[in-house]
Amino acid sequence: MNIGVLTSGGDSSGMNAAIRAITRTALHYGFDVFGIKQGYNGLLNDTIIELNRGSVANIIQRGGTILGTARSDEFETEQGMAQAKKTIDKHNINAVIVIGGDGTMRGAKIFSEKFKVKMIGLPGTIDNDLYGTDYTIGFDTAINSALDAVDRIRDTAASLERLFFIEVMGRYAGFIALAVGLAGGAEEVLIPETPTNIDALANKINDNIRKGKKSNIIIVSEGDEAGNAFAIAEKIKKCINEPYRVAVLGYIQRGGAPTANDRILASKLGFATVEALMQNIHNCMVGEINKKIVFTPFEETYTKKKNIDSDIYKIIKILSE
């Protein structure tokens, strides 16, 4: 079997560990492995490199992706997909492993069905918003990087007795915000999954100040329906008599050396993906739920909603009283 592997969409820490696990497992079983550069664009442009054991040496600890990544609009066109199929046939690739988020799984679902290509996915995104896995590769690193930043900001917040709105990534999902809010001891967390009430938030901040809280940290998920951190701060401004600052953490959440959890998850899932292909399992994403490997059809990974842990939300509220 000739196996192609690509990373697509936003990079996430642990993608390299997954590429390493896939390559080494495939070579162990006697397969050839081809790295496809810059996501689905590599199939359009025929930028394919053969991977050997050495190609993936010394990458388990590196963030980003050695294959490069892209969000490819062209791949989504009929013409783009036909071109991609030509490249796959040219290299005699029998199966393609894709590592990425919901857009990556959507592309794989359409392409695999239309052109009868065996594909299998690995969840790689900091957002943790894919159905079919407890955690996505890169989420743990992202929350630890964000937490480190929140801890630093807390020093300033406490010293100057200031209110801070800290915006974290997550696109349309609040997983990063919730985790960082709980671990960072935030006063409030605003996420897209729950309605944000500006008056209630202002009351809570005012109460906290009355109770003698010296600093308040509000974690805002970038996808919150009430707006981003600047917009929310602007709305709150009228109801509080308190100076505030806004910090947008941005791309520091995406890169950096993967945590042990991300390296372990990526290695386990990368290994499982090759073994799945050997059993002719494909057109699905490989995830881990309750420590067990599970296979979820591509379509369900992005159409079914992965629920947030509402206990975390409740705990944050109580612990910050």
**Single-letter residue type at 44:** L
Q: Give the binding-site size for ligand F6P (rule: CB under 6 A).
A: 10
Q: Which is nearer to ligand F6P, 172 or 295 (CB)?
A: 172
3-state helix, strand, coil in the chain (%, to 5): 45, 20, 35
User: Residue 154 belongs to what H/E stretch?
Assistant: helix 139-160
Binding string to ligand F6P for residues 171 to 190, with x set by CB under 6 A, is what? x-------------------
127 annotated active-site: yes
Rounded least distance, CB 127 to ligand F6P, Å: 5
Report the sign of the C-alpha dihedral through residues 89, 91, 97, 101, in that order: negative
Options 48-56, 80-88, 124-132, 188-196: segment touching ligand F6P (CB under 6 A): 124-132
Angle at 200 between CA 198 and CA 201, to 5 degrees: 65
Q: Would you call 199 exposed, middle or buried from its count of C-beta atoms within 10 A (0-12, 13-18, 19+)?
A: exposed
Q: Select the residue interacting with ligand F6P from 65, 125, 145, 296 (CB under 6 A).
A: 125
Q: Which of 11, 127, 224, 262 is catalytic?
A: 127
- Rounded Cα–Cα distance for residues 95 and 118 (Å): 5
Contact 181, 309 (CB under 8 A): no
- Rounded Cα–Cα distance for residues 159 and 172 (Å): 33
Q: Select the residue interacting with ligand F6P from 5, 6, 7, 10 (CB under 6 A).
A: 10
Residues 187-246 that bind ligand F6P (CB under 6 A): 222
Contact 40, 108 (CB under 8 A): no
Q: Which is nearer to ligand F6P, 100 or 270 (CB)?
A: 100
Residues 49-108 that bind ligand F6P (CB under 6 A): 101
> Does the footprint of ligand F6P cover residue 126 (CB under 6 A)?
yes
Q: Select the residue interacting with ligand F6P from 4, 68, 170, 174 (CB under 6 A).
A: 170
Which residues are the active-site residues? 127
* Residues at the site binding ligand F6P, with contacts judged by CB under 6 A: 10, 101, 125-127, 169-171, 222, 254
Residue set of the binding site for ADP: 20-24, 154, 185-187, 211, 213-215
